[in-house]
Amino acid sequence: MMNRKIITIGFCILATSLLTFSCKNTTTAAPQDKLVIPVDKAKFLNGGLAEPITIETRTLSDGSSADCYKIVVKSTPTDHAMGPWCPTNISDDASAGGIWLENGKVYDVDGAFVKNLAQFYKDSTWAMYNKATGAITKTKTEADCREAANPNVGEEYKNYCVECLPSYVANLSHTYYIPVRPKAAAKPYEFSKGPGGPGGPDGPEGHPKPDGERGPKPSHDSTPSTRGLAFNGIVFDAPAPTDRILGAYTLAPFDDAGGHINLNAGYHYHAATGLSTRIAQTDQHAAMIGYAMDGYGLYENTDSKGTDYKDLDALRGHYDSVRGYHYHVDKAGNNNFINGLRGEFAE
Ligand SMILES: [Zn+2]
Ligand SMILES: [Zn+2]
């Protein structure tokens, strides 16, 4: 490596002096951390696993092979309840509904929120309740849940509060591979800006465009849309495509834990609100809430005193001498967890 660098630098100097324009050294080395913490599979709650975690050799995003944990999850949290999402009547209080994320803020989806949608979004098309009875128009069956999520959803689902119930996805399981030991990449994998990367489970929720038209291309063709896994086995997902959801005059609220259900993905998170299992730290550092898909730890947004971290990199990560490199997830209202992966991930 050193020899190659010297040769490259030498060539640059030679080329610069000969051709009088600058030569870019294209050799980028992966960051070397003093402390690298391997994934601790014992941190995953047994109740969330469809089978015991095993190790498999997998190909990583840099083409190398590495031991990865094979984690098969039930996509059903065992450490908190799911729902509710949509309130039933505009007179309902916050306990009857979930939350909505808009402009960095978390709003309770109570009856008043639904009643106020036309004002909230300054668009009189919003009318998600019966003016005579106050009943909120919401999906009631699995067929409704599927239809309201159909890319060609018809006018009949305009002004629906969309909620898919746990009973529709009771028999799902999903398999994830996470490198046992995080491996820093030479160049981080940034997630595409905006919601729903390719193959992301959020397609069916709102108004997904056909495959290949789903928002900006990610920096890496196969960058996962899944950001990471909570200790209960629930995925921290790509941002919910709220623009598409709202564009159809539907609302697909999250429950108080920041999750909701679609038929393909099952239950998944779009916000970390502190309800899934947290591992408190002894030094006031933010609690740990899971692992990113590259094996680095995921921690809450603020430290135990509620203070923001000011030294995060573009991915929302930083290094310390206790935890090695790790991420701090975004604020719940931002419909986002982290901005990319610093390490290689299993293909
Ligand atoms: Zn979603
Ligand atoms: Zn930290």
Look at residue 4 and tell me if it is in a domain: no
pLDDT band at 203 (very low <50, low <70, confident <90, very high): very low
Q: Ligand 2: distance of its center to the CA of 299 in Å? A: 7
Nearest listed ligand to the Cα of residue 321: 2
Percent of the chain with pLDDT over 70: 82
pLDDT at residue 211, rounded to an integer: 28
Nearest listed ligand to the Cα of residue 335: 1
Look at residue 69 and tell me if it is in a domain: yes
Q: Ligand 2: distance of its center to the CA of 345 in Å? A: 21
Nearest listed ligand to the Cα of residue 284: 2
pLDDT band at 28 (very low <50, low <70, confident <90, very high): confident
Residues 228-244, mean pLDDT to the nearest whole number: 95
Residues 319-329, mean pLDDT to the nearest whole number: 98
Q: Ligand 1: distance of its center to the CA of 32 in Å? A: 35
pLDDT at residue 245, rounded to an integer: 86
Neighbours of 230 (CB within 10 A): 28
Residues 275-296, mean pLDDT to the nearest whole number: 98
Nearest listed ligand to the Cα of residue 318: 2
C-beta of residue 90 within 8 angstroms of C-beta of residue 112 = yes
Question: Which residue do the tokens 């094979």 mark?
Answer: 70
Q: Ligand 2: distance of its center to the CA of 317 in Å? A: 7
Residues 255-275, mean pLDDT to the nearest whole number: 96
Look at residue 6 and tell me if it is in a domain: no
- 266 to each of 13, 201, 219, 227, how far by Cα in Å? 57, 9, 27, 16
Nearest listed ligand to the Cα of residue 202: 1
Nearest listed ligand to the Cα of residue 149: 1
**Closest to 99 (Cα-Cα) out of 298, 262, 334, 308:** 334
Number of structural domains, the chain? 1
Q: Ligand 1: distance of its center to the CA of 240 in Å? A: 5
pLDDT band at 220 (very low <50, low <70, confident <90, very high): very low
Q: Which of 157-161, 268-272, 309-313 has the lowest average pLDDT? A: 157-161
Q: Ligand 2: distance of its center to the CA of 290 in Å? A: 13
pLDDT at residue 25, rounded to an integer: 52
Nearest listed ligand to the Cα of residue 312: 2
Residues 46-50, mean pLDDT to the nearest whole number: 98
Nearest listed ligand to the Cα of residue 252: 1
Q: Ligand 1: distance of its center to the CA of 333 in Å? A: 14
Residues 234-250, mean pLDDT to the nearest whole number: 91
* Both tokens assigned to 63: 């083409």
Give the structural domain span for 112.
11-343
Look at residue 3 and tell me if it is in a domain: no
**Closest to 251 (Cα-Cα) out of 239, 262, 242:** 242
The pTM (predicted TM-score) of the whole model is 0.86
Q: Ligand 1: distance of its center to the CA of 65 in Å? A: 31
Q: Which of 14-23, 145-154, 181-190, 263-272 has the lowest average pLDDT? A: 14-23
C-beta of residue 271 within 8 angstroms of C-beta of residue 227 = no
196 pLDDT above the threshold of 60: no
Q: Ligand 1: distance of its center to the CA of 11 in Å? A: 51
